[in-house]
């Protein structure tokens, strides 16, 4: 019976998204929008996929209440309310939906630039009060001015295009964007201090992390030579509000427009609200009908890919794979997992290091996810808790295992080869490749060539290279009613030791294994299941 995924919506989604989620085969949907934390804690043990917006706090306590949670989806770009670290420790994939509100947030940043430049809110209030103060509200035009965008992700990129469309010159700062990428956007890439010094407008579009908290600080304001307008539609906390108040007081900037705040809601009496050159909105960046629909549909598509194909789209704590990448890499993912699983089952001693070596064509691929597959395979037989792509590195770290990757473009005997070596009390290596239409094969164990299908129950034996050993193994298995499905041999002529990988139709009992170990010339016998 195929698994049914229980999906729970804790915060409101667009009707179009809910309708799409209801049609997913293999899914059971509960729309519990607005659910209390107490009720959510009670429901979580039976939930596989949790969908939230900004209201629900997915913290360590909430995650601890979930026993089968596999996926936590934030319907939006920000992850302030999701404890990604705690989710990773528990093997929960965390996804966001960064594209659905891209246009609407960029538009809101643009609107705030117009509003603060032309002093629109203050002029509107004045006119409503019966005044006609044209000279008082003389503003600045945007065309011809320099816009500095801090963060050139989806929203920053969209804002750059819009600003260029009205004649603004755009410069940008983003440590993850190179010159070639910036050139394609027609954006001049600068260091942060250079951007702050050259810009007439500074718009912030980075996530809130430990590295970006108070990125716009007193020091940053002191570097703003042209007294720019500051726009923040990203996250409160990126701008230090006390430093901002001081900058406004000292005239270091001409004004600011804020859609987000360090504390939300900010409450009454925030000093910034009393300033005429400050424009504020209550976190409206993604608040359009179109954005709510797009974000919801984006979430529904991501959940569908996760359920149907095990593909992680917009995951923040595991490597993302596209459908095309998965098709190409799926056979190698399977190969890497069985190599790791084999070693995990035949190496009971403590391991201090795992090295994954890639040769040939596979060395040029996205190897991080392949290494995670090796770790998942290796650690699963050794761990009582579930191990997956999300927490595999953490589980390895907690066991004191150092993980290393090496590569070699050349591969003498195959198009591609993956070799996994474990080191500790003993050192053991196992190499594999793909045959035919992507079928995994173990082709080398401890530098002994072989050709084994890694599937089902397998007896891994080491013996002295002498006549009669293989025949004796067959006799023992036959007398105990165990059928041999296939057998692969390997030999090290220098040491006089041989190996065998014997595929059998059913699990071998402890009594039969004991008989095999007592066979003359036999060095070791281990049973694995792949």
Residues annotated as catalytic are 235, 264, 283
What is the separation of C-alpha 501 from the centre of its chain, rounded to a whole number of angstroms? 37
User: What six digits make up the tokens of 351?
Assistant: 């391991």
User: What six digits make up the tokens of 168?
Assistant: 């603004």
Beta strand pairing status for 457-464 and 522-529? antiparallel
C-alpha span between 147 and 145 (Å, rounded): 7
Using the 8-state DSSP alphabet, how is residue 239 labeled?
B
Using the 8-state DSSP alphabet, how is residue 274 labeled?
G
User: Angle between the 289-309 and 323-346 helix axes, to the nearest 10 degrees?
Assistant: 40
C-alpha span between 424 and 166 (Å, rounded): 64
Which of these, 221, 179, 168, lies nearest to 197 by C-alpha position?
221
Task: Please state the φ and ψ torsions of residue 267, each to the nearest 5 degrees.
Answer: 80, 175
User: What six digits make up the tokens of 7?
Assistant: 């999906």
- Cβ atoms 256, 240 nearer than 8 A: no
Task: Please state the φ and ψ torsions of residue 447, each to the nearest 5 degrees.
Answer: 65, 15
User: Angle between the 102-117 and 289-309 helix axes, to the nearest 10 degrees?
Assistant: 150
SS3 132: coil
Burial profile 376-403: b = 16 or more Cβ within 10 angstroms, e = fewer: bbbbbbebeeebbbbbbbbbbeeeebeb
Upper half-sphere CA count for residue 346 (Cβ side, 13 Å): 28
Over 45-91, what HEC string results?
HHCCEEEECCCCCECHHHHHCCCCCCEEEECCCCCCCECHHHHHHCC
C-alpha span between 450 and 491 (Å, rounded): 8
- Cβ atoms 311, 303 nearer than 8 A: no
Beta strand pairing status for 427-435 and 439-445? antiparallel
């Amino acid at each position: 019976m195929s698994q049914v995924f229980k999906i729970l919506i804790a915060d409101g989604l667009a009707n179009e998204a809910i309708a799409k989620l209801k049609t997913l085969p293999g899914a059971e949907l509960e729309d519990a929008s607005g659910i209390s934390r107490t009720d959510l804690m009670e429901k979580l043990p039976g939930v596989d996929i949790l969908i939230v917006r900004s209201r629900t706090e997915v913290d360590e306590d909430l995650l601890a209440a979930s026993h089968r949670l596999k996926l936590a989806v934030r319907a939006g770009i920000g992850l302030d309310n999701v404890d990604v670290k705690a989710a990773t420790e528990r093997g929960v994939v965390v996804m966001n939906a960064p594209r659905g509100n891209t246009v609407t947030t960029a538009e809101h940043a643009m609107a705030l630039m117009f509003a603060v430049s032309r002093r629109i809110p203050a002029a509107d209030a004045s006119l409503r009060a019966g005044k006609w103060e044209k000279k008082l509200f003389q503003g600045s035009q945007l065309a011809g001015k320099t816009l500095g965008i801090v963060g050139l992700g989806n929203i920053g990129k969209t804002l750059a295009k819009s600003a260029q469309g009205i004649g603004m010159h755009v410069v940008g700062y983003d440590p993850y964007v190179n010159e070639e990428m910036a050139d394609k956007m027609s954006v001049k890439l600068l260091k942060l201090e250079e951007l702050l010094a050259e810009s007439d407008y500074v718009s912030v579009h980075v996530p809130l992390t430990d590295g970006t908290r108070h990125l716009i600080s007193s020091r940053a304001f002191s570097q703003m030579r042209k007294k720019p307008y500051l726009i923040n539609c990203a996250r409160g906390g990126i701008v230090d509000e006390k430093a901002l108040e001081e900058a406004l007081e000292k005239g270091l900037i001409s004004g600011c427009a804020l859609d987000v705040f360090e504390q939300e809601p900010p409450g009454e009496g925030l000093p910034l609200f009393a300033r005429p050159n400050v424009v504020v909105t209550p976190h409206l960046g993604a608040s359009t009908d179109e954005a709510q629909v797009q974000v919801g549909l984006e979430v529904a598509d991501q959940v569908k890919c996760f359920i149907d194909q095990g593909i992680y789209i917009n995951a923040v704590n595991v490597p993302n794979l596209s459908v095309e990448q998965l098709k190409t890499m799926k056979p190698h993912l399977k190969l890497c997992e069985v190599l790791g699983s084999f070693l995990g089952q035949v190496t009971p001693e403590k391991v201090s290091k795992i090295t994954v070596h890639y040769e040939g064509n596979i060395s040029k691929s996205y190897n991080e996810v392949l290494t995670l597959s090796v770790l998942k395979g290796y650690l699963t037989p050794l761990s009582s808790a579930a191990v997956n792509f999300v927490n595999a590195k953490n589980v390895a770290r907690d066991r004191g295992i150092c993980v290393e990757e090496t590569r070699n473009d050349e591969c003498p005997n195959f198009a591609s080869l993956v070799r996994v070596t474990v080191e500790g009390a003993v050192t053991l290596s196992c190499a594999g490749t793909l045959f035919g239409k992507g079928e995994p094969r173990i082709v080398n164990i401890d530098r002994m060539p072989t050709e084994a299908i890694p599937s089902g129950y397998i007896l891994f034996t080491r013996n002295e290279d002498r006549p009669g050993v293989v025949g004796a193994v067959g006799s023992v298995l036959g007398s105990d009613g165990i059928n041999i499905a296939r057998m692969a041999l390997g030999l090290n002529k220098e040491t006089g030791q041989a190996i065998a990988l014997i595929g059998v139709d059913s699990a071998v009992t402890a009594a039969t294994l004991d008989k095999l170990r007592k066979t003359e010339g036999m060095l070791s016998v281990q049973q694995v299941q792949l």
